[in-house]
Amino acid sequence: MSNNNVQIFDTTLRDGEQVPGCKLNTEQKLIIAEQLDNLGVDIIEAGFPVSSPGDFKSVEEISKIVKNATVCGLTRSVENDIKVAAEALKYAKTPRIHTGIGTSDSHIKHKFKSTQSDIIERAVKAVSYAKSFVEDVEFYAEDAGRTDNEYLARVCEAVIKAGATVLNIPDTTGYCLPHEYGAKIKYLKENVKGIDKAILSCHCHNDLGLATANSIEGVINGARQIECTINGIGERAGNTALEEVVMILKQHPYLDLDTKIQTEMLYGISQLVSDSMGIYTQPNKAIVGANAFAHSSGIHQDGVIKNRETYEIIDPKDVGVTESAIVLTARSGRAALAYRAKNIGYELTKLQLDEIYTNFLDFADKKKEVDDNDIHQIVENSKVYNEITSA
Ligand code: KIV
Ligand code: ZN
């Protein structure tokens, strides 16, 4: 693996599926897993096998059908979790066990009523045990975002010695600012003995709307894996959105960081996940929202019609959207009306356009959005159009 490749670890089927009311059945998970594999994600976190028989079955079935990606199962630092995950992953071509424990003071004191040294001992034991089943073991330091860097470095060092291949540094509560998260990754890169033997992974939650920014800071500072979900779905305010980090890296080639994602599949898979889970995607969602490539104000429409790049930094085809949309509303100008009319067969003269535009504005003030049928009606009913075309 070259050093500028950022691995995409998709957790739509695990962290993403933790959204209340969005449980998927095994069949739906298999369809999504197959598409994620085609999309080119490097790792699919298929579930938390010990959590329920249904999750076990999903991880097992996904392991059987995935052709390219590593299939991963989540565990706590508990022997039985790890044993069950190994069992669920037994058909995977390349299995990974993702085990870990909380490392922040809050988790150590309140959740585990334990001590820092005991947590390191449990972490090492879990990684060593997971290593007895699979070669590829990822360790997560839950709440790493609020864990003291010096202690976090000691945890990382210990689990690398025990055989961890990937170190997941979750900002579990979505608390970090981008420069803090980036500095944490840099600190670990510079202070953990043996860090070259492992990949640092960003797992950022979106409680303050910073998950994507934090993940990007993470890879700029040396992490080489991003954990993310389609449409950014996940616990509370969600996880890092896969489509966002992938397109940020693609649109900023000077960062010299690549992924293997087939970006033209992004829109389709976003729709698949949204439909399967029954979660509506907000229209202004970056990359995959219904309005991500829609232009409605007259000034913007005129600019885009003259040259798409005036107001678009991504070619919609690159993410699987057929074309930019020129939406006709009362805020639209003549250029947009002429463009949409031309698309449905009306080549309007300047004179025709002047009258039709006045009629259009009357109409648009009464209706939120003017569609092709409305344009037909407005044009066909306009005096000047009929006079000229029948002359
Ligand atoms: O947010 C988190 O800390 C997690 C871990 C279980 C990886 O999802
Ligand atoms: Zn998480």
Residue 1's pLDDT band (cuts 50, 70, 90) = very low
Whose alpha carbon is nearest atom 8 of ligand 1?
Answer: 15
pLDDT over threshold 60, residue 390: no
Name the residue type at position 52: S
Q: What distance in Å separates the CA atoms of residue 46 and residue 66, rounded to the nearest whole number?
A: 10
Q: Is the CB of 172 under 6 A from ligand 1?
A: yes
Q: Is the pLDDT of residue 246 over 80?
A: yes
**3-state DSSP call for residue 274?**
helix
The answer to whether the beta carbons of residues 46 and 71 sit under 8 Å apart is: yes
Report pLDDT digits (tens) over 34-64. Answer: 999 999 999 999 999 999 999 999 999 999 9
- Beta-bridge partners for 193: none
Give the residue, by CA position, lying nearest to ligand 1 atom 5.
Answer: 142
Task: Judge whether 13 and 58 are in contact, CB under 8 Å.
Answer: yes
Contacts of 92 (CB under 8 A, 6+ apart): 63, 66, 70, 71
Buried b (16+ CB within 10 A) or exposed e, 265-296: bbbbbbebbbebbebebeeebebbeeebbbbb
Average pLDDT over residues 198-221: 98
For ligand 1, atom 1: residue with the closest CA: 172
Tell me the C-alpha distance between 280 and 231, whole Å. Answer: 10
Integer angstrom CA distances of residue 14 from 188, 206, 257: 26, 16, 26
Q: Considering every ligand atom, which ligand is closest to the CA of 169?
A: 1
Tell me what pLDDT residue 3 has: 87
Q: What is the pLDDT of residue 245?
A: 99
| 203 touches ligand 1 (CB under 6 Å) | yes
Within a 10 A sphere around the Cβ of 367, how many other Cβ atoms? 12
Mean pLDDT, residues 136-140: 99
Q: Which residues pair with 225 in a beta bridge?
A: 7, 201
Residues forming beta bridges with residue 169, ordered by sequence position: 202
* Residue 314 pLDDT exceeds 50: yes
Residue 391 has pLDDT above 60, yes or no: no
Instruction: Say if residues 6 and 227 touch (Cβ distance below 8 Å).
Output: no
| Residues 184-212, mean pLDDT to the nearest whole number | 98
Environment of ion ligand 2 (residues, CB < 5 A): 15
At residue 2 the predicted structure's pLDDT band, cuts being 50, 70 and 90, is low
Q: Is-contact 203 223, C-beta < 8 A?
A: no
What number does the ligand 1 atom closest to the CA of 98 have? 7
State if residue 102 touches ligand 1 by the CB under 6 angstroms criterion: no
The rounded mean pLDDT for the chain is 96
Query: Closest Cα to residue 211, out of 175, 180, 246, 247?
Result: 175
- Nearest 10 degrees: Cα torsion 205, 206, 210, 213: 60
Closest-CA residue to 361 (of 348, 374, 372): 374
Q: How far is the CA of 345 from the centre of ligand 1 (A)?
A: 54
Residue 9 CA to residue 242 CA, distance in Å, equals 9
> What's the CA gap between 131 and 123, in Å, rounded?
12
Segment 108-114 mean pLDDT: 97
Residue (of 186, 173, 246) closest to 212 by Cα position: 246
CB 13 within 8 A of CB 29: yes
Ligand 1 neighbourhood includes 142 CB (under 6 angstroms): yes
Residue 168 CB less than 6 A away from ligand 1: yes
Q: Separation of 242 CA from ligand 2 center, angstroms?
A: 14
Whether the CB of 240 sits within 6 Å of ligand 1: no
- Distance, in Å, from the CA atom of 132 to the CA atom of 127, rounded to the nearest integer, reads 9
How many whole angstroms separate alpha carbon 125 and alpha carbon 119?
A: 10
Q: What's residue 22's pLDDT?
A: 86
Q: Looking at ligand 1, which residue's alpha carbon is closest to its atom 7?
A: 140
Please tell me the predicted confidence (pLDDT) of residue 378: 97
For residue 183, is pLDDT > 80? yes
pLDDT for 213 equals 99
275-293 residue pLDDT tens: 999 999 999 999 999 999 9
Rounded to a whole number of angstroms, the CA Rg of the chain reads: 26
Say how many residues make up the chain: 391
The pLDDT of residue 328 is above 70 = yes
Q: What is the 3-state secondary structure (H, E, C) of 100-130?
A: EEECCHHHHHHHCCCCHHHHHHHHHHHHHHH
Residue 385 pLDDT exceeds 90: no
Please state whether the predicted TM-score (pTM) of the whole model is above 0.85: yes
Q: Is the pLDDT of residue 337 over 80?
A: yes
pLDDT of 21 reads 86
Distance 138 CA to ligand 2 centre (A): 14
Q: Residue 75 carries which side chain, given as an amino acid letter?
A: T
pLDDT at 384: 75
Terminal CA-to-CA distance of the chain, rounded, Å? Answer: 70
